[in-house]
Structure 1
Amino acid sequence: MNYRKAAEFLHMTQPAVTQHIHFLENEYKCKLFNYNGKKLQKTKAAYKLESYARSAKYSENILKKEIISKPLTELRVGATKTIGEYVITEQVKRFFQNDSYTLSLIVDNTENLLYLLEHNKLDFALIEGFFDKQKYNYILYRNEPFVGICSKTHPFAHKNIPFEELFKETIIVREEGSGTRAIFEQILFEHNFTLDCFKKQICISNFQLIKELVLSEKSISFVYEAVANSDNELSFFTIGDNNITREFNYVYLKNTNAEKYITLF
C-alpha cells in the first residue's frame, strides 16, 4: 500500500509502478486505489482482482508441476497447531502409504497459514480459527468441542463454572494470531468480557508447555477437546450454559482446483 516501497520491492522506478497500475485500471475499466487523505486504500475492484490474481498464480504453479511430470506429486498442507499436533496424525500416516505422493506439512497459527495460502506456499490449510468465508473456499472437516482444562485437584474439575469465577484464576492463552485464542476471545466478547478481566494472564505458543503449567501451577486454559484428551491428568470444566463447539475446516483459494488435493489427503 505504498508506491515507493512497491517500486523498491520490484526493482522498478516509482513512475513505472504508477504506469502499470494505470494500465490495469484501463484494462479492467475500474479504479483500483484511492487516497483517503494521505493513506492509500484498495477499492472493492482491487480486492476482487487481487483474489483472482492469487488464484491464477496458484493454477499456473500447478500447471508447471504437471508439465514437468515429476515422478511424485507433492501435496503442500498447512494445519493449525491443535489439528496438526493432536488430530491428523493417523491421517498423515495413511497418506504416507501412498507411493505416488510426497507431503510437505506446515504447522502454524491461523494468521500465518492464511498468509502462506495467499502466497501460493500451500495447496490448502486445515484451520481451527476464524477466517473470512467470503474470501476463501472451504469444506467442513469436523466440529470440535471447546473446553476449559485444569488439574484434577483444581476446584473447577468436572464442574460448570460461572464466568465471574473464572476471573479469579491465572489464564494461559495462545499467542496472537492463533485460532484457539481468537475463539476464546470471541466467547468472552459475546459475554461482555475480555482477557483483562483475569487476575493474571500468561501467553504461551506451545500446547505441551501449556498443559504442564496447567497441571503444576494451578492455572486454567481453554483448548479444543482433542488437546484435552491427550493427557489423562487433565480435567475438563464448562462455563455458564455454554456447550461450545467450533468448526475445523479445509480452507483453499477460490477459483482453483485445490479441492482435488483435499480429496487425496
Structure 2
Amino acid sequence: FIENSCYEEGALKIHASSTIGNNLMPRILGDFFKEFPHIRAELTVDNTRSIQQRILAMEVDLAVVEGSCLHPDIEVIPWREDELVIICHPDHPMAGKTVDLQSLKDEEWILRETGSGTRELFDEVLAARLCTPNVIMSLNRAEAVKQAVMEGLGIGCISNLAVWRARNAGLLSTISVSDLTLNRHFYLLLNRKKYRSGVIKKVSDFILRWDDKLLIS
C-alpha cells in the first residue's frame, strides 16, 4: 500500500511527551522515513495530560507518553521501560554517592511541571515519603530542568534518557538512593473510536519494534 498515492498526501499527526519527543522520536522517525520515504509525520511535544485530551478529541493520530492513562476510550499499549534518576551539580556533597531517601528531605528540587509523566511519578513515589519536598522551580521541559541543575540551583529528577550525555560529559552527576526504585513504562496511545489507516498501523508497528541498543553508551 505504500506506493498508493493516497498515502503520500498530508501528514500523520503524532504527539509525544517531553522525554520521548526530545530523546527518542527524532531518531525513530528518521529511521522510519529512510524505510518509508513517501510517508511524512508531524511531531508535537507536549505533556502527558494535554496529549490525552488531544487523543480523546481525535486531533492526534497516535501518541507516545510516559504517564499513565486509564480512560476507556484510549487504547494503551506498553512499549518500553524507562528509569528516572536524581541529578545534581557535580560539586554537590552527595554527587556520585548512595544515600537513603531521608537524606534528601532538606534539598531544594527543580522538577517538571504538574501534568507531565515525570512529575506524576515523582509525586507518587517520592513526594509522600519526603513529607512535602521543597520544590523551588517547576519547568515544562527536561532540558530546562537540566540547565537549572547544571547551574547549581537545586537537584532534579528526570529520565536517564535526558541526562546521560551530560553525565558522560561531566556536566551533571547523580545521587543514588538505596531504598528507591523509579522505573516506569512508556506507552503508545490510540483512540479506540478513531479510524486507523494503513499508515497509522505502519507507524505504530515501527515504533513498537524499534531497537535502540546503541542509543545509550
**Is the shorter-chain TM-score for this pair beyond 0.5, marking a shared fold?**
yes
How far is 1:166 from its partner?
Answer: 1.2
Unpaired stretches in structure 2, ≥5 consecutive residues? 208-217
Q: Which of 202-211 and 177-186 deviates more?
A: 202-211
> In structure 2, what is the Cα distance between the partners aligned to 1:93 and 1:253?
25
Given the two structures, how large is their TM-score scaled by the length of structure 2?
0.80
The aligned counterpart of 1:228 is 163
SS in 1 for 2:40: strand
Q: Which of 112-121 and 97-106 deviates more?
A: 97-106
How far is 1:264 from its partner?
Answer: 4.6
> In structure 1, what is the Cα distance between the partners aligned to 2:194 and 2:140?
32
Over the aligned positions, Cα root-mean-square deviation in angstroms equals: 2.2
How far is 1:73 from its partner?
Answer: 5.7
Instruction: Please list, as runs of the form range in 1=range in 2, the aligned pairs for 1:1-265 lying within 5 A after superposition.
Output: 69=6, 71-72=8-9, 74-97=11-34, 98-132=36-70, 134-189=72-127, 191=129, 193-194=130-131, 196-198=132-134, 200-231=135-166, 232=169, 233-256=171-194, 258=196, 260=201, 261-265=203-207
> In structure 1, what is the Cα distance between the partners aligned to 2:190 and 2:111?
27
How far is 1:83 from its partner?
Answer: 0.5
Could you tell me whether the CA contact under 8 Å between 1:81 and 1:108 is conserved in 2? yes
Task: Name the structure where helix makes up a greater proportion of residues.
Answer: 1
Identity of aligned residues (%): 24
How far is 1:135 from its partner?
Answer: 4.4
Aligned structure 1 segments of 4 or more residues deviating by more than 6 angstroms: none
How far is 1:117 from its partner?
Answer: 0.7
Q: In structure 2, give the amino acid aligned to 1:87.
A: L
How far is 1:221 from its partner?
Answer: 0.4
Q: In structure 1, give the amino acid aligned to 2:92.
A: H
> In structure 2, what is the Cα distance between the partners aligned to 1:83 and 1:107?
9
Larger radius of gyration: 1
Q: In structure 1, give the amino acid aligned to 2:162.
A: V
> In structure 2, what is the Cα distance between the partners aligned to 1:163 and 1:87?
30
> In structure 1, what is the Cα distance between the partners aligned to 2:58 and 2:156?
34
> In structure 2, what is the Cα distance between the partners aligned to 1:219 and 1:190?
19
> In structure 2, what is the Cα distance between the partners aligned to 1:238 and 1:205?
24
SS in 2 for 1:183: helix
How far is 1:190 from its partner?
Answer: 5.7
How far is 1:163 from its partner?
Answer: 2.2
Given the two structures, how large is their TM-score scaled by the length of structure 1?
0.67
